[in-house]
Chain A
Amino acid sequence: MLGIIAAIIDGVLIGSVYGLAALGLTLIWGVMEVINLTHGAAIVAGMFGLYLLANAVHIPPYATLPLILIGGFLVGIVLYWISVHRLMGRPPLMILLSTFAVNLVVIGLGTAAWGTDLFNVPVSLPSVTWGRYTFSGTHILAAALTTAIAGALYLFLYHTKLGKAVRAVANNREAAELAGIPTTRVLSLSFGLGVALAGAAGMLIATMFPFTVLSGDAYQLKSFVVTALGGLGNPAGALVGGIALGLIEGFAGQFMPVSWTLVIEFVLFVAVLIIFPRGIFAFRRA
């Protein structure tokens, strides 16, 4: 019983980071109805960003977070212009293919540079003991930073003029354009934000678990599951969905080997999509 409760609380901590990653995917979908298949590559880029900055440049691990956010934002804007802008208004199939192609290029370059070996970034943080439970410090800090980033995103979307423009474009792009909002710039900015969030999530995951160049696919699948649970295009749903997924993982991990996780998650993904196509935690979009 003790083990289960600890595992579930730990699951919530980790799940909030899954929620952060899914926030990036869901933001892009919500604003422009594009599924960003470079999502997995962005997560891996965040992981290796941490690895390179911490190991080669000797920046303290958590100080890389703002750098990765800024870098991810800029890369995301470039990606928008390369793989999405030209294809807006064409069949959605084309953007899926183009972002998938960029994903291949990134993963291919990563594999050529680092192979598929396991990497680990040593982060030493004291663990926290609470009564009879002990929690890893990296998990707690990751959840705290996730909350901070999600809070900042909320403030941006709901309390700044630019954030209002993003919501307007998400609501109705033509009407926003007529109201004088530079929609193309808003779209590229949103794509940048989405990639930055995925990169940040990757960085936080890398402080907790070892990773390879190919880890992106598994975490991308987790983001899909989270968005299926929370409803695609719904930021609050993504966070709740992430925590739900963490809970499920923590709980399932007590009863079966970890290597089954992907299978269970996929079954869950398909089942949720079929039974609740709008998501279980789909709150009304503001």
Chain B
Amino acid sequence: MSGKTTGTVAGEQRASLRRRPFFWIIAAVIAAFALAPAIGNNVELRESLLLATVYITLASNLNIMLGYAGYINFGSIVFFGLGGYTCVYLISAHGWPLAAAELAAGVAVSFLALVFGLGILRLRGAFFALATIGINEAVQAFVSNFEPWGGAAGLYLPTTIFKPLGGPMRALWVVYFLLVAVMGASLYLSYAVKSSKFGLGLIAIGQNEDAAVVLGVPAPLYKALAYSLSAFLPALAGGLYFFKSAFIQPSDAFDLNLSTEAMVIVMLGGRSTVTGAAIGAYLYEELRGYLLTSQTFSSFQLVISGALLLLIVLFVPGGLMGWIYGRWPRGKEVLE
């Protein structure tokens, strides 16, 4: 991953993303996700792919911070959980339609992330990581005590909320297609950021923040924007996910497992690559499916994702895409 290549790409082809093959690869992935379960009305496949869309959304957005800017965000799940809470709350307490609640959740969470980011992102590396570890604990404690959001018991949605979407059966399909759309948007966002001047600035920060600042990258602003940008789509995904289950409680919304898994996925696929986050999510989802059905492994899920993360960091820091680029250097031109 060299800054120079990205620089030329950003300079010459910023306006013509659509002419590059990668744009169409993403489109094909989205189409496959949307069509595969729809053909033959395969509900089982839909449920398994639904989880994959959530993983890909979380991982792609985490990658903007972790991959491009080189800042670990241990609390990426906070966006997902807060998005879910805002959306479920607006629907249950104020009777908002799903679309409006979703939009409000995304905007509110991004705005919060921007404000918080402007504060903590002045902190360099390690301190920022400490703050993001704390935020998950703190937000979970806050929500557990926050009465309007149901405290530790959580919030329920009545089954009647599925009526406007044509009944529960159809609503599940609608939510699935919306999640696929959010996933697609995440992939395009990752790609667009990577090919932009903004992304180039982030990657420069990731490689050497002091040098980037000297060269005129407004580092604190860029970091806060990246943090805020990476909050929007996970908040939408959280809203849809908890709308579908019609129930939200603090331990599900701020599940440490999910934020850990997003990190494992980014590292497994390869940091700061768009393809890596997607392939990593798919591989991890397969692995997880296998582990959950196996009796021995299901209680060791945390151990296995931890061990996997450690092995990747120690021995394959470039992840899968790093390995592919090493074997097939021209791959960089096709797979971002």
Q: Which residues of A contact B (CB under 8 A)?
A: 29, 33, 35, 37, 82-83, 86-87, 90-94, 96-98, 100-105, 107-109, 111-112, 217-218, 220-221, 224, 228, 232, 257, 259-263, 265-267, 269-270, 273-274, 277
Since A86-B314, A105-B303, A108-B302 are in contact, a sample of 14 more A-B pairs with Cβ atoms closer than 8 Å, ordered by chain A residue number, is A35-B129, A83-B310, A97-B313, A100-B263, A101-B310, A104-B303, A109-B303, A112-B300, A221-B138, A228-B130, A263-B142, A263-B145, A270-B131, A277-B123
Q: Which residues of B contact A105 (CB under 8 A)?
A: 302-303, 306-307, 310
Q: Does B68 contact A (CB under 8 A)?
A: no
Q: Which residues of B contact A83 (CB under 8 A)?
A: 310, 314
Q: A108-B301, A259-B141, A274-B120 are in contact. Are A96 and B310 (CB under 8 A)?
A: no
Which of A35, A96, A108, A224 has the most B CB atoms < 10 Å from its CB?
A108
Q: Which residues of A contact B74 (CB under 8 A)?
A: 100
Can you name 14 A-B residue pairings with CB atoms under 8 Å? A29-B126, A87-B313, A96-B72, A96-B129, A101-B313, A108-B304, A112-B299, A217-B133, A218-B137, A221-B134, A232-B127, A262-B138, A273-B131, A274-B123
Please tell me if the beta carbons of B141 and A98 are within 8 angstroms of each other in the complex. Answer: no
Please tell me if the beta carbons of B309 and A96 are within 8 angstroms of each other in the complex. Answer: no
How many angstroms between the C-alpha atoms of A152 and B191 in the bound complex?
A: 55
Main secondary structure of the interface of A (DSSP, over half): helix
Q: Which residues of B contact A33 (CB under 8 A)?
A: 126
Q: Which residues of A contact B137 (CB under 8 A)?
A: 217-218, 221, 262, 266
Q: A104-B260, A263-B141, A274-B120 are in contact. Are A269 and B134 (CB under 8 A)?
A: yes
Q: Which residues of A contact B302 (CB under 8 A)?
A: 104-105, 107-108, 111
- Closest Cβ neighbor of A271 among chain B residues: B119
Report B290-313 CB contacts with A as 1/0, cut-off 8 Å. Answer: 000000000111111111011001
Please tell me if the beta carbons of B141 and A224 are within 8 angstroms of each other in the complex. Answer: no
How many angstroms between the C-alpha atoms of A221 and B132 in the bound complex?
A: 11
Q: Which residues of A contact B122 (CB under 8 A)?
A: 274
- Closest Cβ neighbor of B142 among chain A residues: A263
Q: Which residues of A contact B138 (CB under 8 A)?
A: 221, 262-263, 265-267
Q: Which 5 A-B pairs have the closest CB atoms?
A: A104-B306, A108-B302, A266-B138, A108-B303, A101-B310
- Closest Cβ neighbor of A99 among chain B residues: B310
Q: Which residues of B contact A (CB under 8 A)?
A: 66, 70-72, 74, 119-120, 122-123, 125-127, 129-131, 133-135, 137-138, 141-142, 144-145, 256, 260, 263, 267, 299-307, 309-310, 313-314, 317
Q: Which residues of A contact B131 (CB under 8 A)?
A: 269-270, 273
Which of B71, B304, B306 has the most A CB atoms < 10 Å from its CB?
B306
How many angstroms between the C-alpha atoms of A125 and B72 in the bound complex?
A: 44
Q: How far is the CB of A142 from chain B (nearest CB, A)?
A: 23
Q: Which of A96, A101, A232 contacts B306 (CB 8 A)?
A: A101
Q: How far is the CB of A25 from chain B (nearest CB, A)?
A: 10
- Closest Cβ neighbor of B119 among chain A residues: A274
Q: A102-B310, A273-B131 are in contact. Are A97 and B144 (CB under 8 A)?
A: no
How many angstroms between the C-alpha atoms of A107 and B133 in the bound complex?
A: 16
Please tell me if the beta carbons of A98 and B313 are within 8 angstroms of each other in the complex. Answer: yes
Q: Which residues of A contact B135 (CB under 8 A)?
A: 266
Q: Which residues of B contact A260 (CB under 8 A)?
A: 141, 145
How many angstroms between the C-alpha atoms of A53 and B144 in the bound complex?
A: 34
- Closest Cβ neighbor of B116 among chain A residues: A270
Please tell me if the beta carbons of A259 and B145 are within 8 angstroms of each other in the complex. Answer: yes
Q: How far is the CB of B320 from chain A (nearest CB, A)?
A: 16
Q: Which residues of A contact B317 (CB under 8 A)?
A: 90, 94
How many angstroms between the C-alpha atoms of A108 and B122 in the bound complex?
A: 33
How many angstroms between the C-alpha atoms of A273 and B124 in the bound complex?
A: 11
Please tell me if the beta carbons of B307 and A270 are within 8 angstroms of each other in the complex. Answer: no
Q: Which residues of B contact A220 (CB under 8 A)?
A: 133
How many angstroms between the C-alpha atoms of A257 and B66 in the bound complex?
A: 36
How many angstroms between the C-alpha atoms of A259 and B152 in the bound complex?
A: 11
How many angstroms between the C-alpha atoms of A101 and B303 in the bound complex?
A: 9
